Structure 1
Amino acid sequence: MAPGQASLPRSHRRRPASSHRRGLLHLAEHGASSLDTRNLCMAGGVALTCVGNGWILAAGRFNLYIQPAAHDAGTALGAALLIWHWPRSSSGPPAAS
């Protein structure tokens, strides 16, 4: 048990995980309904949360893909957004600064 948890009632120790679960599922539901899809692609630090990924899979409403080089820097998502918008733009990709 982590320091300081011994003084907390068991129900209070479970609340952060329950809130995290509800928040993660809410975001997944919102994204899926906004785009009218069951396909969910995750990248970045949250994609490294195995327990959270298990919650999403257990919900049974999503086809889950986890980008294999996920980390917290955000470069994977930025690169994906660049490629997504590049063909739709007449001016090409933004210039590197």
Structure 2
Amino acid sequence: MFKMVALFKKPEDTQSFDEYYFNTHIPLTQKIPGLQDVKITKITGSPMGESEYYLMCEMFYESKHAFKEASKTDESKASGKDVMKFAGNLVTFFFGEEHNG
């Protein structure tokens, strides 16, 4: 399983962020062909107390190849453009492969 992870720093206005993220951005993202699952985690703290991070979104694909193919679609491009519009200064992306251990 291949995944793309979006890690968001805490926005100034969490209520407005949540409203846009869950009602506009996520429905747009869920239209990406080949996307198998989306898991969203609200970050509530860290071992040292408060965290600078607010939310983590994991987007799952069957393989790296499936992700690359999905990335070429208009739906993926629309999702990427949208996230940069409303959270470009808050988001960091990275990729990973899950291993069952």
Structure 1 length-normalised TM: 0.26
The structure with the greater share of residues assigned to helix is 1
Find the structure with the greater CA-based Rg: 1
RCO higher in 1 or 2 (8 Å CA, sep ≥ 6)? 2
Structure 2 length-normalised TM: 0.26
